[in-house]
Amino acid sequence: MKNAVRLTLVLASLVLAAAPLAAADAPRIVGTWDAVATTPNGDMSSVIVVKQVEGALKAELEIDGAKRTVTDEKLEGNVFRMKVQYEGGVYDIEVKVDGDTLDGTWQGGGYSGTLKGKRRP
Mean pLDDT for the stretch of residues 114-121: 97
Q: What SS3 state is found at 21?
A: helix
- Provide, rounded to the nearest whole percent, the portion of the chain with pLDDT above 90: 76
Give the span between the Cα atoms of 14 and 107, in whole angstroms: 46
Mean pLDDT for the stretch of residues 91-118: 97
Best mean pLDDT range from 3-12, 21-30, 71-80: 71-80
Helical (H) or strand (E) element with 76? strand 70-76
Query: Tell me, what's the pLDDT at 25?
Result: 55
Give the span between the Cα atoms of 19 and 69, in whole angstroms: 31
CB 73 within 8 A of CB 96: no
Give the span between the Cα atoms of 115 and 40, in whole angstroms: 13
Question: Going from the N-terminus, what domains does the chain have, and what CATH number goes with each?
Answer: 28-119 (2.40.128.120)
Query: Tell me, what's the pLDDT at 27?
Result: 81
Mean pLDDT computed over every residue of the chain: 84
pTM recorded for the entire structure? 0.78
